Amino acid sequence: MSRAWDDIKMIEQITSCKRYCITASMILFAVFAFSAESTHAADAKKKTVERHTHHVVGLFCVEREADLREAVKQLPDLVFVSADFNKAEVVLSYDTKVLFPNMNDGQRVQRLDNMFKSVSSHTFSIKPLRPIADDKLTLIKIPVAGLDCKACSYGAYRAVHGIDGVEIATASFKAGLVTALIDPKKTNRIALEAALKQRGVAVK
């Protein structure tokens, strides 16, 4: 439909005559309606692949991007486009009609989430984009010490990311740092540090 309206606008510019333009529009619309009816089945089979951006949970360090790519490879009809580590977002390319027929956005994200969990032993999860603007969030940085181990970093990440009010978190014992972008109305640094200590993390 959007392509049809673009065509109408183009004709308007060419003819510069509204009278003819209305007539032409009506003709074109009728032609389009007729042709759309006849080619509906063919269009449905055509892939209308588009890029979609989602919030991703589990992207706790830069090295995890490679794991995310591997996870996407295991999912048919999904293409990894890019990942934004700082925003915890992933851009995927897929055809909603093929992958998620007759689903609304909420259902689509829920299905995606299940797919990612199943191929990543629940270490990746897909969520809707964050509703709160970054300027309303506070970045907390907590120096930590521990083994340079990806799974340990994930353990520290799980400890803070599970807290209500934490929008994005990162953890890396290699860097010796846990960060969290928090909603200050819901949580604070003390709660984060307590959660880390409870998990066995040495907070410096």
Partner 1 sequence: MLRRSLPLVLLNCLVPFLQTNVVAAEDNPRSYFESHCVTCHDSELKKGGLDLTVLKFDLSKSANFTQWVKIYDRIDTGEMPPKKKARPPAAETKSVKAWLHDALIDAEKVVLKKRGQTGLRRLTRAEYENTVRDLFDMPGIALKGELPADGSAHGFDKNSDALDISHVNIAKYMEAANRILDLAIATRPNPPTVQKRRISLANRGGFVAHVIMNGDGVLLRDKKPDPDFPPAGEHRHIDQGAHEQIGSFRTGSTVGLFRHEDESFSPYFIEHVTIYPGRYRVRTSLWSFHWDKGRVLPARGTEAARLSVVQLTGDGRGGQHPSYVLGYYDAPSIESKEHELITWLNHNEIIGFNTASLAPTANYSRKGRAMAFTGPGIACDWLDIEGPLHEVWPPIAHQRLFGKLPLVEFRNDQTPKVSAPQRQRIRQLGAGRNRPDPESGIWTVQSKSPTNDADRLLASFLPKAFRRPVDQEVRQRYVAKFQERFKAGDCFETAMRWVYRAALCSPDFLYHVEPAGTLDQHAIANRLSYFLWNSMPDERLRQLANAGELKSKEVLRSEVERLLKDERSQRFVEDFLGQWLKLKQIAATDPDRKLYPEFSAYLQDSMVAESRAYFCELIDKDLDASYLVKSDFAMLNEKLAVHYGIPGVHGSQIRRVQLPADSQRGGFLTQAAVLKITANGTTTSPVPRGAFVMERLLGQMPEPPPPNIPAVEPDVRGASTIREQLEKHKANASCATCHLKIDPPGFALESFDVIGGFRTRYRSIGEGDPAPRGSIDPFIGISFKLGQPVDASGVIPDGRTFNGINDWKSLIAADRESLLRNLAKQLVIYSTGSDISFSERDEIAAIVKSVSKKKGGIRTLIHEIIQNELFRAK
Nearest to 48 by CA among 83, 99, 91, 8: 99
Cα torsion 106, 111, 112, 117: sign? positive
The CA distance from 17 to 81, in Å, is 45
Sheet containing 89-94: give its strands across: 79-84, 89-94, 50-57, 125-127
Q: Which of 1, 151, 190, 204 binds partner 1 (CB under 8 A)?
A: 151
With contacts defined by CB under 8 A, name the span among 37-45, 47-55, 130-138, 156-164 that binds partner 1. Answer: 156-164
Q: Is 174 in the site for partner 1 (CB under 8 A)?
A: no
Strands (E), the chain: 50-57, 79-84, 89-94, 125-127, 138-145, 166-172, 177-182, 202-203
From the CB of 28, what's the least distance to partner 1, in Å?
57
Q: Is 204 in the site for partner 1 (CB under 8 A)?
A: no
Q: Is 63 in the site for partner 1 (CB under 8 A)?
A: no
Q: Is 165 in the site for partner 1 (CB under 8 A)?
A: no
Annotate each residue in 109-148 with x if it binds partner 1 (CB under 8 A) or - if it does not, as one string: ------------xxx---------------------xxxx
Q: Which residues bind partner 1 (CB under 8 A)?
A: 121-123, 145-152, 154-156, 158-159, 199-202
